[in-house]
Chain A
Amino acid sequence: DADVTQTPRNRITKTGKRIMLECSQTKGHDRMYWYRQDPGLGLRLIYYSFDVKDINKGEISDGYSVSRQAQAKFSLSLESAIPNQTALYFCATSGPLDNEQFFGPGTRLTVL
């Protein structure tokens, strides 16, 4: 079984809709991250969380919010989706003493 899972894997939605992307991990890591990937831009950090009570904005947090429901779960919400949020979204985790991040398979989001 995969250590980091993301649901859904693909989603098409319309402008103005609220959408939630979910991430679960079985690695026992405290630290979790949300990134978006756009062609030619690499990955950019949206939000990160170092434990259940800790939420931090990343490089591009505008238009997004997150919820850390438990150590193993970290959700990303788009309150009112817009077309330029069309991208590939990745969740990642890391341990406290290891800067290596472990990535989920990604969610491809299309906003029409």
Chain B
Amino acid sequence: AQSVTQLGSHVSVSEGALVLLRCNYSSSVPPYLFWYVQYPNQGLQLLLKYTTGATLVKGINGFEAEFKKSETSFHLTKPSAHMSDAAEYFCAVTPRANNDMRFGAGTRLTVKP
């Protein structure tokens, strides 16, 4: 079965600094990969996804992620953090054959003024 490991349950950056949230996955078949964001008291919202094609994926709010098969990674980045980016971020993986989506434990991002 597939699984996801998110390195760092909490990440703190200063406003304007680079955001890097790490995600490594395990899957025996080619995966689809996702990053979701959860703002306080809300459901999950899709930031971006990798299915096929270009390995550098751009999402909403200036975020992007790169699928690196050799490293089994799908790290999320944003060049310049904004206060509104403070939220919890979840990486998820699903096999291409079905919707058995597995989530990482989440990384809480704090942005300091």
Interface residues of A (CB under 8 A from B): 4, 31, 33, 35, 40-45, 48, 50, 58-59, 90, 92, 94, 99-106
Cα A4 to Cα B96 in complex, Å, equals 24
Query: Does B43 contact A106, Cβ atoms closer than 8 Å?
Result: yes
Q: Residues of B within 8 Å of A, CB-based: how many?
A: 25
Q: A103-B45, A105-B43, A106-B43 are in contact. Are A45 and B9 (CB under 8 A)?
A: no
Cα A31 to Cα B94 in complex, Å, equals 15
- Residue from A42, A92, A102, A105 within 8 A of B90 (CB atoms): A42
Query: Does B43 contact A40, Cβ atoms closer than 8 Å?
Result: no
Query: Does B103 contact A90, Cβ atoms closer than 8 Å?
Result: no
* List of 4 A-B pairs having minimum Cβ-Cβ separation, nearest first: A103-B43, A42-B103, A43-B103, A103-B44
- Residue from A41, A101, A102, A105 within 8 A of B101 (CB atoms): A101
Chain B residue with the shortest CB-CB distance to A50: B99
Which residues does chain B contribute within 8 Å of A92, judged by CB atoms?
Answer: 44
Query: Does B99 contact A99, Cβ atoms closer than 8 Å?
Result: yes
Which residues does chain B contribute within 8 Å of A40, judged by CB atoms?
Answer: 9, 105-106
- Residue from B4, B34, B103 within 8 A of A100 (CB atoms): B34
Cα A107 to Cα B39 in complex, Å, equals 15
* Binary contact track B6-30/A, C-beta < 8 Å → 1, others 0: 1001000000000000000000000
Query: Does A100 contact B46, Cβ atoms closer than 8 Å?
Result: yes
Which residues does chain B contribute within 8 Å of A58, judged by CB atoms?
Answer: 100
Cα A105 to Cα B44 in complex, Å, equals 8
Cα A102 to Cα B94 in complex, Å, equals 14
Known: A42-B103, A99-B94, A100-B46. 20 other contacts (CB 8 A): A35-B103, A40-B105, A42-B6, A42-B105, A42-B106, A43-B44, A43-B103, A50-B99, A90-B43, A99-B49, A99-B99, A99-B101, A100-B34, A100-B49, A101-B101, A103-B44, A103-B45, A104-B43, A105-B42, A106-B43
